[in-house]
Amino acid sequence: MNTQASVDQSMKKWEEAKDETERTAILVAVRKKVLHDLDQILNGATSDLAQQMERYTVLSLLGSFSEQVRSRVRLLEQNYRGLEGKYVGQDRLERVKECLGGMKRKLELLNDLKRGRKESGVRRHPLD
């Protein structure tokens, strides 16, 4: 059942409720369900973003790619700091942190490769 249908059904129950305690219980249950559904959507979107970033990393060229990865690291850092201050599931916060760590490692690797190429005098990209 989708979230909207669930909310609609619960609101009918709320209208039929006999007292405030019953109404409050229904509203709390709806709130929990909606928050759970939204959390699932956000978790899926975060996973999709991580997969897309990974795919982009694999397909991109080394030359100008370092700056793009650096931008992604800054974006993930902002995202992580924003999530720390809000109520989010610990598993979601950990996934963002893992993704950030992975991107930082990739950036370090790219920087090491670029330094190694410069030291050896090898040019593989016209912008080097």
- Looking up tokens 């992975």 gives 102
Using a cut of 0.85, tell me whether the model's pTM lies above it.
no
Q: For residues 31 and 64, what is the distance between their CA atoms, to the nearest angstrom?
A: 46
Q: How far is CA 26 from CA 2, 23, 38, 103, in A?
A: 17, 5, 18, 43
**pLDDT for position 101:** 92
Ordered by start, the domain boundaries in the chain are 3-118
The confidence score (pLDDT) of residue 64 equals 60
For residue 23, the one-letter residue type is: R
pLDDT at 123: 53
Three-state DSSP at 17 gives coil
